Amino acid sequence: MNWERLQYMYERKTYRIVQRHIKKILSEIPLNNISLSNYEILITLNITDDKIKSMLVDIYKEVGFDYSRRIKKEIEKTTKNVLFSDSFLNDILIFLAGEGGNKIVSIRGTLIEDIVKAIQEKLKNDTSLIALQDAIFEIVNRSQQFYKWQALRIARTETTFASAFAAMRAASQSNFETTKEWISVKDDRTRRDHRIENGQIVDFNEAFIMADGTQMQYPGDPKGQASQVINCRCTLAFKAKRDKDGNIIFKK
């Protein structure tokens, strides 16, 4: 399975999803009721947790379903005695209702901050209502660069999380014990810690330990520091554990 090719494909699909959601969110800002005194409040109220959650669910379904299927096929090459359930969407919703809630809050907060900053940069010293409305209209309808920057960052990070989350889920549902291997993209954009981690193998329930001491269960793990998660493009591979005689070790 060629991860670099898949990662590129997933990232492009995710990028389009993020662009679509951001544009819809921005287009719903009520320009008729906006003023210099309330625009930050209206933007904050308009960009809700539910809208960010909807975007993430679309990403995880698009990437996760497909990658989970591919991981299952890879595992099935090892043994035919594999048991899987089909509750991926439910697992996504459970994640987002729990520890994934922090991810929603973080993406929402960053998006609000960047939109307000973009508006303020366009306003500069012109503090008229017309200038404010023009600034928001331009960002919503004409500023492809704004969408591109926002969408690329979210797409890359969430593509990695969605694929790794799906891979972990698929491997956890097999009926034998596995190890997991950290796989990094081999180019100059890969952060040093992840180049070092490339090829490291641990038991399924063990954490990978980064060079800075950060412990992560998988690439994109939300428990990791931002410096280890944002724009990460790594993934995982799994192998069945075997005993000294070469037999697959099944879960008890």
107 vs 148, higher pLDDT: 107
Q: Report the pLDDT value the prediction gives residue 83, as an integer from 0 to 100.
A: 44
In angstroms, how far is CA 120 from the centroid of its own chain? 28
Strands in 16-146 per DSSP E: none
pLDDT at res. 248: 87
| Three-state DSSP state, 207 | coil
Average pLDDT over residues 149-178: 87
Distance CA 207, CA 137 (A): 46
Question: Taking residues 10-32, what's their average pLDDT?
Answer: 88
CB environment 74-101: b (16+ within 10 A), e (fewer): ebeebeeeeebeeebeebbeebbeeebe
pLDDT in tens, 42-98: 999 999 999 999 999 999 988 988 888 888 777 666 555 444 445 777 888 898 998
Whether residue 216 is predicted with pLDDT greater than 90 in this model: the reply is yes
% of the chain beyond a pLDDT of 90: 37
Q: What is the average per-residue pLDDT within 113-142?
A: 84
Average confidence (pLDDT) over 104-123: 90
Q: Give the Å distances, CA to CA, from 112 to 25, 33, 46, 97.
A: 11, 18, 10, 21
pLDDT, tens digit (0-9, with 9 covering 90-100), for 222-240: 888 888 998 899 999 888 8
- Helix (H) or strand (E) holding 215, with range, is strand 215-216
* Three-class SS of 168-204: HHHHHCCCECEEEEEECCCCCCCCHHHHHHCCCEEEC
- Rounded to a whole number of angstroms, the distance between the first and last alpha carbons of the chain is 30
Q: What is the pLDDT of residue 73?
A: 76
Mean per-residue pLDDT, 196-215? 93
CA contacts within 13 A on the Cβ side of 99: 6
Res 204: pLDDT: 94
| Cα–Cα distance for residue pair 5/168, rounded to 1 Å | 20
For tokens 């508006």, the residue is 119
